[in-house]
Amino acid sequence: MRFFRLSFRLKRSLSGGAAARLWRAAVLGAAVLFSASVGRGAEKADTVQQQLQELRQANTALQEQLRAQKGLIETLSRQVGELQSARSAREQELADLKAGNNAPADTKAPGGINLGKLHITGEGGVGFFHTAREGSSPNSEFRVDEAKLFFEAPVWENVYFFSELNLAQREESGLSLKLGEFYVDFEDVSRLWNRERQLNVRAGRMDIPFGEEYLTRDAIDNPLISHSLADFWGVDEGVELYGKLGKFSYALAVQNGSDADNRDFNRDKSVAGRISYDPTRWLHFSVSAMRTGDLNVQNDQLSALWFGNGYFRSLGSTNTTAFRANLVQGDVAVRWARGHLSAAGGVIRYDDNDPAGNNRRTVYYYSFEGQQFLTRKLYAAARFSHILADKGFPLVGQGDYGDYFYESLTESLWRLSLGVGYRFSENLLLKAEYSFERGKETGGDIRNQEDMFSVQAALKF
């Protein structure tokens, strides 16, 4: 503004063409200065705009790089998780196969004692037992109910040694040292034809692979203290094949058949097998079959297979020289995150060569079991089991062994067990139970004085 006032004064002080020329020169100079200023501003604006564009491009490239890195990290994490899951599943399958079972089972917590290659673990249970006057514990007993030591060691590549020592068992009177399982395990023999876990072989003294209750019979695994009335289990010398084919698994054993340890007084062998099918992780089926083979009355005396809290024995006269039993059983189990429901049932055909008469008979049995965790550690469990024998059978149950195994035969016996348990950890379990037991003998006498109350602490290391 001062420039125009100065120009106006100069215009008044000058005259004629000089004034006009001076005016035009001043205006032209101002225009040039203004244009230069505007040009520099535009150039500066273009530079800023270019820098902003470059920043936007760099930011876009950085975001793309971050997205790519995030995707790579997610892919790697997923692959690592899949590998870990596959490894865990593989380890669980091997553990299940070693047990002769492919059904889901409680995870064994690591522990035990390592002495070089030798791994030592143990399980046991102590408790209090009281039955009514005709039961096995009418005087209210404190008892070391179970005490076991397990020894396992690698021998060569996929060959392992396993042994079980029983220091105390509910089925044995008093405390004694007795050999349980003792075998050499040839794992993954099927690798010879490039197939994993299809065939494994055991040789020695093994569990009889009939039914499934024996797989969870130990105190730390059993949700209750009692077992079902049938309670099939036993160990015997022989050879066992086991493996897995897709969703199917199997176990097949040829064994001596009698309770005479390391001896067999009849050439006829026991054969037992089980085929299992798991369509999903929560549903399980299996079918078992067994023949005890002919057993010598005088020398074998008893079967290796435990049944009804006793064994199979001869029901014939003193002239009987051989007896046998054939069995078939089906199992089904449904499992969920905090419990399970299972059922089993089957039939037994007994026969002997008694020249004095026909002792052939049929025995039917079944059981239902359920368990539900009420909190993370507290659970409730129940089991109902029933045995029906048309002509009577030695069924001890919770009664006195001498009375109900040798003296009298029972035609019907049922048991209802109700219990609660508190699992402090995988290694410690405290449980209590009341079992109702009722039955009828062949002579018509009623069995109603064998109810049992028990408390037990089970542990393993």
d(CA 285, CA 333): 7
For the stretch 318-363, pLDDT in tens is 999 999 999 999 999 999 999 999 999 999 999 999 999 999 999 9
| More confident call, 101 vs 57 | 57
What pLDDT, on the 0 to 100 scale, is given for residue 109?
Answer: 47
SS3 label, residue 172: coil
pLDDT reading at 77 higher than 90: no
pLDDT reading at 255 higher than 80: yes
Task: Please tell me which of 67-71, 92-96, 441-445 the model is most confident about, judged by mean pLDDT.
Answer: 441-445
Domain assignment of residue 207, yes or no: yes
SS3 label, residue 164: strand
Q: Which residues contact 436 (CB under 8 A, 6 or more apart)?
A: 415, 416, 417, 451
For the stretch 385-404, pLDDT in tens is 999 998 999 999 999 999 99
pLDDT reading at 7 higher than 50: no
| More confident call, 207 vs 177 | 207
What pLDDT, on the 0 to 100 scale, is given for residue 62?
Answer: 73
What pLDDT, on the 0 to 100 scale, is given for residue 140?
Answer: 95
What pLDDT, on the 0 to 100 scale, is given for residue 44?
Answer: 57
What pLDDT, on the 0 to 100 scale, is given for residue 435?
Answer: 98
| Residues 194, 302 share a domain | yes
Domain assignment of residue 259, yes or no: yes
Domain assignment of residue 212, yes or no: yes
Supply the mean pLDDT for the chain. Answer: 86
| Residues 226, 349 share a domain | yes
| Residues 125, 69 share a domain | no
What pLDDT, on the 0 to 100 scale, is given for residue 201?
Answer: 98
For the stretch 276-323, pLDDT in tens is 999 999 999 999 999 999 999 999 999 999 999 999 999 999 999 999
Please give the average per-residue pLDDT across 426-436, as a whole number: 98
SS3 label, residue 127: strand
Q: What is the percent of the chain with per-residue pLDDT over 70, rounded to a whole number?
A: 81
What pLDDT, on the 0 to 100 scale, is given for residue 65?
Answer: 76
Which of 195, 196, 192 lies closest to 94, judged by CA?
196
d(CA 399, CA 447): 9
The band of 56, judged by pLDDT with boundaries at 50, 70 and 90, is: confident
What pLDDT, on the 0 to 100 scale, is given for residue 405?
Answer: 96
pLDDT reading at 372 higher than 90: yes
Please give the average per-residue pLDDT across 44-66, as a whole number: 72
For the stretch 221-242, pLDDT in tens is 999 999 999 999 999 999 999 9
Q: Which of 73, 102, 128 is the last residue of a domain?
A: 73
Q: Please, are residues 295 and 257 in contact by the beta-carbon 8 Å criterion?
A: yes
What pLDDT, on the 0 to 100 scale, is given for residue 61?
Answer: 75
d(CA 148, CA 189): 29
Please give the average per-residue pLDDT across 63-67, as a whole number: 75
Instruction: Give phi and psi for 40, each to the nearest 5.
Output: -65, -40
DSSP string, 286-354: EEEEEE---EETTTT-SBSSEETTEE----S-TT--EEEEEEEEEEEEEEETTEEEEEEEEEEEEEE--
Chain position carrying tokens 């055909």? 349
Please give the average per-residue pLDDT across 215-225, as a whole number: 97
Maximum Cα–Cα distance across the chain: 165
The band of 9, judged by pLDDT with boundaries at 50, 70 and 90, is: very low
What pLDDT, on the 0 to 100 scale, is given for residue 45?
Answer: 58
Domain assignment of residue 329, yes or no: yes
Instruction: Give phi and psi for 381, each to the nearest 5.
Output: -145, 155
What pLDDT, on the 0 to 100 scale, is given for residue 382?
Answer: 98
Please state the domain count of the chain: 2
pLDDT reading at 78 higher than 70: no
| Residues 178, 43 share a domain | no
| Residues 308, 228 share a domain | yes
CB count, 10 Å around CB of 208? Answer: 28
Q: Which residues contact 242 (CB under 8 A, 6 or more apart)?
A: 97, 100, 200, 202, 209, 249, 250, 251, 252
pLDDT reading at 432 higher than 70: yes
| Residues 320, 187 share a domain | yes
| Residues 439, 371 share a domain | yes
What pLDDT, on the 0 to 100 scale, is given for residue 80?
Answer: 52
| Residues 354, 283 share a domain | yes
| Residues 341, 448 share a domain | yes
Domain assignment of residue 97, yes or no: no
| Residues 131, 58 share a domain | no
Domain assignment of residue 105, yes or no: no
Q: Which of 14, 48, 73 is the last residue of a domain?
A: 73
d(CA 181, CA 234): 10
3-state helix, strand, coil in the chain (%, to 5): 25, 45, 30
Helix (H) or strand (E) holding 83: helix 16-98
| More confident call, 86 vs 362 | 362
Instruction: Please write down the long-range contacts of 165-174, taking CB distance under 8 Å and 24 or more positions apart.
Output: 168/124, 168/144, 170/143, 170/145, 170/146, 171/306, 171/309
| Residues 320, 378 share a domain | yes
Of 19-23, 211-215, 263-267, the least confident = 19-23
Please give the average per-residue pLDDT across 186-197, as a whole number: 94
| Residues 131, 66 share a domain | no
DSSP string, 217-251: -STTT-SSSS--SS--B-EEEEEEEEEEETTEEEE
The pTM for the full model equals 0.77
Which of 186, 183, 199, 311 lies closest to 257, judged by CA?
311
For the stretch 12-44, pLDDT in tens is 444 445 555 545 655 555 554 555 554 555 555
Please give the average per-residue pLDDT across 98-111, as a whole number: 44
Q: Which of 10, 41, 73 is the last residue of a domain?
A: 73
CATH code at position 230 = 2.40.160.10
pLDDT reading at 58 higher than 90: no
pLDDT reading at 427 higher than 50: yes
Residue 65 lies in domain = 2-73
Domain assignment of residue 363, yes or no: yes
Domain assignment of residue 106, yes or no: no
SS3 label, residue 187: coil
